[in-house]
Chains A and B, each alone.
Chain A
Amino acid sequence: MSFLEFSNISKTYPGVRALSGVSFGVEKGAVHGLMGENGAGKSTLIKILSGDQHADAGEISIDGKVQAYASTRDAFDNGVIVIHQELQLVPELTVAENLSLGRFPASAGVIARRRMLDDVGDKLKSAGIDIDMRRKIKTLSIGERQMVEIAKAVMLDARVIALDEPTSSLSSRESEVLFKLIDRLRGEGKVIIYVSHRLDEVFRLCDSLTVLRDGKLAAHHTSLKDVTRDKVVAEMVGREISDIWGFRPRKAGDVRLKVDGLSGARLRAPASFEARAGEIVGFFGLIGAGRSELMRLVFGADPRSGGTIAVDGKAVAAASPHDAIRAGVVLCSEDRKHDGIIQGRSIEENINISSRRHHTRFGVLSRVSEIATAETFIKKLKVRTPSRRQDIINLSGGNQQKVILGRWLSEQGIRVLIVDEPTRGIDVGAKSEIYELLYQLAEDGMAIVVVSSELPEVMGICDRILVMCGGRISAEFARDQFAERAILAAALPDKKTPDAIAS
């Protein structure tokens, strides 16, 4: 029996079987990777470990003793600590105060500052964490805050520490510091569960690995010696993915979208570009290069201060998304949660929100066509859901993206589809489905604009790439000119024009 043992863990949410009969063990002094696509059940497993959720069946034991936590506090007291992506620190308090929260050394209610600082200082030192204890959390970088979270675990003499995607918002230098700390904790005999999407990190850090797929155990490796990356990817996806881009050449037709001298508050220079029927045009650039801003102007989401937009040769006012949609231009925003999904409403309503106007009479909806539309696109886009009535918030990122695509594809006469970071936070399997869909739409004569920060993605699926840098379009490459270095160079701010960096 291993030090930390999961046996037969099952959990069902309304309409979703999140985990079924998952069993595996982790030894003391090991860093154990937990991988899987979005929706595979990683987070649920971690939530059960932390006492935040209760398993419907099965049990967790530590050091041979069965653990039953009523709450996260309970798990805490038993030495099990989960560090989430969203950190649980009080911004207005100092590092030392945060680390002592709930257990302030005090006499008659007055905090013994000296003692608090000494205690915390000792612990931080022994854990090798170098942070000024007197600083307020709000003044720390994300990486430093993560350190404080881990210090919290060290303070409590945790036996099991689970880290959920810890590097997702860290710079590579901050990640290195984190990895060193994890190595140290391993040396002290802690059990560390490391949840991550990133194969590089998992192979670098972990001694053993569990892969989940669709709530079931897909693979368990007690050693990573003879395991290849391709093998792990195949285990996550459930099949071999040879070429995730699956690019197919197409013939470009007439110009569909023509943007001329478009300018707005957040662009550095007026932007001009065009996209032809059947063409997939990529917009590459660093974060903040103005790509999303440009697309929002084209879609009428932000007010434009000059320039013209024409679709099929006809000028479009595009003073609002409302107008743009009527002219056949639609946008899938980069921030799905904030700008895309309508939380609390069903998949059916999320799909029909715009296109329903084609089926109404005097403002009264047609139930029949709403249901038919929803069912059609759930099937066509392979949205994984038990029912069209499911609240969209319960879907995984990839499925939410498909619903948003369904919203636009159910519109009539869409000519230009703009997708901003279409595969962000989406797992490999759903990614290739979305690419395939884009090819089909292009073949049907749509002009497609793809904004992405992932160079392999734009190079993989686009016919032409426009590069943006510092709020202006800096270069253009046709598919036969694609070269990683040249494209990247065009995206980096030029030292000769410092005003470009200022944005």
Chain B
Amino acid sequence: MTDRLKKILLGEQGLVVIFIVAFALVSLLVPNFLTDRNMLGLLQSVVTVGIVACTMMFCLAARDFDLSVGSIVAFAGMVAVMASNTTGSILLGLVAAIACGAVVGWVNGVVIAKFRINALITTLATMQIVRGMALISSDGRAVGINSPDFYQLALSKLLGIPTPIWVLAVLFAIFGFVLNSTVFGKNTLAIGGNPEASRLAGVNVDRTRIWIFTLQGVVCGIAGILLASRITSGQPNAAVGLELSVISACVLGGVSLAGGRATMSGVIVGVLIMGIAENAMNLLNIPAFYQYIVRGVILLLAVLLDNLRSSALGRR
């Protein structure tokens, strides 16, 4: 009995099993949890983390790291609002925001891949630079959205489900496909497994890494736009600490910080576990201060589980 339980928990799908059990338990024990409204609210709350986790997964899988995502999300939100306010065109605002995200990501990628600066240091620097740019561009104040159509991005619904959730689902699908079924995805995992061997096997390592960071920037741009739309303004102080939530979710989802190991299903589960924990604690009126402790404990447990799983698979 215990052997079988061990096998299930430590197997490939162990995290999914744990997630299902946790979900069932929370549904039974927490009142009002399993309602349409709460489910949509839960999904809405993980949109930003979930979207950014898609590309953070690639970053970590390639043995890299990106701390600048929170700043890019805030900056892209500011750009989207300010550009659409001044030009009067929402589309132009969105394009500008995504372009800005892409440029920051590309700069990260070039510095890391071509100039061989450690990713942690590089993105620690851009994190501060970009946050500074967001603050300067609005003189530190929030900028309200002029056109009500902009709100509609976050408020509109399709088949009763808010647009941001659709965006999240589509990105999950796209990046899941990219990771498993494209040369880019496989190269990412190979680089994380052994960068030098990948280079000698003909993989264009530098280009792949630059692409990973550029995509990360694009995706942060999208997340920034949706966030700005939801909070009806560009906030230079938005998404502070986002990078840590995103990396936590990825690690929860079994992405190895040593590189070479990642699955989209794992990351989705990681994102949802974080969301459920927060949601359930809110429903139970647990004060925010305690929530930090619970989140930290969940992360530690997940990493311990991952460690057990690795040694069960006989890998070091």
Binding site for B on A (CB under 8 A): 13-14, 299, 301, 320-322, 324-326, 331, 333, 338-345, 349, 352-354, 356-357, 360, 363-365, 367, 391, 393-394, 407
Q: Which of B142-187 contact A (CB under 8 A)?
A: 181-184, 186-187
Name the residue of chain A whose CB is nearest to the CB of B187: A353
Q: What is the interface size of chain B, counting residues whose CB is below 8 A from a CB of the partner?
A: 26
Are B260 and A353 in contact (CB-based, < 8 A)?
A: no
Option from B204, B260, B314 in Cβ contact (under 8 Å) with A322: B204
Residues of B within 8 A of A394 (CB): 314
Nearest first, the 7 closest Cβ-Cβ pairs linking A and B are A342-B193, A344-B260, A325-B202, A354-B202, A344-B193, A342-B194, A353-B201
> Smallest Cβ distance from A422 to chain B, in angstroms?
15
User: A342-B194, A345-B260, A363-B184 are contacts. A13–B200 as well, Cβ < 8 Å?
Assistant: no
B190 within 8 A of A: yes
Are B197 and A338 in contact (CB-based, < 8 A)?
A: yes
B315 within 8 A of A: yes
Name the residue of chain B whose CB is nearest to the CB of A336: B197
Residues of B within 8 A of A344 (CB): 192-193, 256, 260-261, 315
Q: Which of B187-219 contact A (CB under 8 A)?
A: 187, 189-190, 192-194, 196-204
Are A363 and B182 in contact (CB-based, < 8 A)?
A: yes
Are A364 and B204 in contact (CB-based, < 8 A)?
A: no
With A and B bound together, what is the CA distance between A166 and B181 in angstroms?
46
With A and B bound together, what is the CA distance between A270 and B181 in angstroms?
44
Name the residue of chain A whose CB is nearest to the CB of B206: A320
27 A-B pairs with CB atoms under 8 Å apart are A14-B313, A14-B314, A321-B200, A333-B200, A338-B196, A338-B197, A340-B200, A341-B194, A343-B194, A344-B192, A344-B256, A344-B260, A344-B261, A345-B190, A345-B193, A345-B260, A353-B186, A353-B202, A353-B203, A354-B201, A363-B183, A364-B182, A364-B183, A365-B182, A391-B315, A393-B315, A407-B201
Are A339 and B197 in contact (CB-based, < 8 A)?
A: yes
With A and B bound together, what is the CA distance between A356 and B194 in angstroms?
18
Name the residue of chain B whose CB is nearest to the CB of A325: B202
Name the residue of chain B whose CB is nearest to the CB of A392: B193
Are B190 and A353 in contact (CB-based, < 8 A)?
A: yes
Residues of B within 8 A of A393 (CB): 315
Are A342 and B260 in contact (CB-based, < 8 A)?
A: yes
> Smallest Cβ distance from A302 to chain B, in angstroms?
11
Are B200 and A339 in contact (CB-based, < 8 A)?
A: yes
Since A325-B202, A342-B198, A356-B183 are in contact, a sample of 18 more A-B pairs with Cβ atoms closer than 8 Å, ordered by chain A residue number, is A14-B313, A320-B199, A321-B199, A324-B202, A340-B197, A342-B190, A343-B260, A344-B192, A344-B261, A345-B189, A345-B193, A345-B260, A353-B201, A357-B183, A360-B183, A364-B182, A365-B182, A365-B183
Name the residue of chain A whose CB is nearest to the CB of B199: A321
Option from B186, B190, B260, B314 in Cβ contact (under 8 Å) with A365: B186
> Smallest Cβ distance from B189 to chain A, in angstroms?
6
Residues of A within 8 A of B181 (CB): 364-365, 367
User: A14-B314, A356-B183, A393-B315 are contacts. A321–B202 as well, Cβ < 8 Å?
Assistant: yes
With A and B bound together, what is the CA distance between A329 and B46 in angstroms?
49
With A and B bound together, what is the CA distance between A356 and B183 in angstroms?
8
Residues of B within 8 A of A301 (CB): 199-200
Are A342 and B197 in contact (CB-based, < 8 A)?
A: yes
Name the residue of chain A whose CB is nearest to the CB of B204: A322
With A and B bound together, what is the CA distance between A14 and B309 in angstroms?
13
> Smallest Cβ distance from B125 to chain A, in angstroms?
28
> Smallest Cβ distance from B49 to chain A, in angstroms?
26
Residues of A within 8 A of B183 (CB): 356-357, 360, 363-365
With A and B bound together, what is the CA distance between A343 and B256 in angstroms?
13
Residues of B within 8 A of A343 (CB): 193-194, 260
With A and B bound together, what is the CA distance between A354 and B201 in angstroms?
6
With A and B bound together, what is the CA distance between A352 and B183 in angstroms?
10
> Smallest Cβ distance from B8 to chain A, in angstroms?
16
Residues of A within 8 A of B313 (CB): 14
> Smallest Cβ distance from A363 to chain B, in angstroms?
5
Are B182 and A341 in contact (CB-based, < 8 A)?
A: no
Residues of B within 8 A of A341 (CB): 194, 197
Name the residue of chain B whose CB is nearest to the CB of A338: B196
Residues of B within 8 A of A13 (CB): 314
With A and B bound together, what is the CA distance between A338 and B201 in angstroms?
12
Are A353 and B204 in contact (CB-based, < 8 A)?
A: no
Residues of B within 8 A of A339 (CB): 196-197, 200
